Amino acid sequence: MRGYKDGQQDHKLSSGNSWCVAKTDVDSRALLTALNYACGQGEADCKEISSPAGSCFQPNSLVSHASYAFNMFYHKYGRKPWNCDFGNTATLTATDPSYGSCTYPAL
Domain count for the chain, please give it: 1
Task: Find the domain containing 66 and state its range.
Answer: 26-96
pLDDT of residue 14: 47
In a domain, residue 76? The reply is yes
In a domain, residue 69? The reply is yes
Lowest mean pLDDT among 20-24, 82-86, 102-106: 102-106
In a domain, residue 42? The reply is yes
Per residue in 46-98, pLDDT (tens digit) is: 999 999 999 999 999 999 999 999 999 999 999 999 999 999 999 999 999 99
CA distances in angstroms from 10 to 47, 96, 102, listed in the order given? 23, 9, 12
Check whether 11 has a pLDDT greater than 90: no
* Cβ(93)–Cβ(14) below 8 Å: no
What average pLDDT does the chain have? 89
**Residue 91 DSSP label:** E
In a domain, residue 72? The reply is yes
Residues 6 or more apart whose CB falls under 8 angstroms from that of 71 comprise 19, 20, 21, 97, 104, 105
In a domain, residue 5? The reply is no
Lowest mean pLDDT among 1-10, 14-23, 82-91, 94-103: 1-10
In a domain, residue 103? The reply is no
In a domain, residue 44? The reply is yes
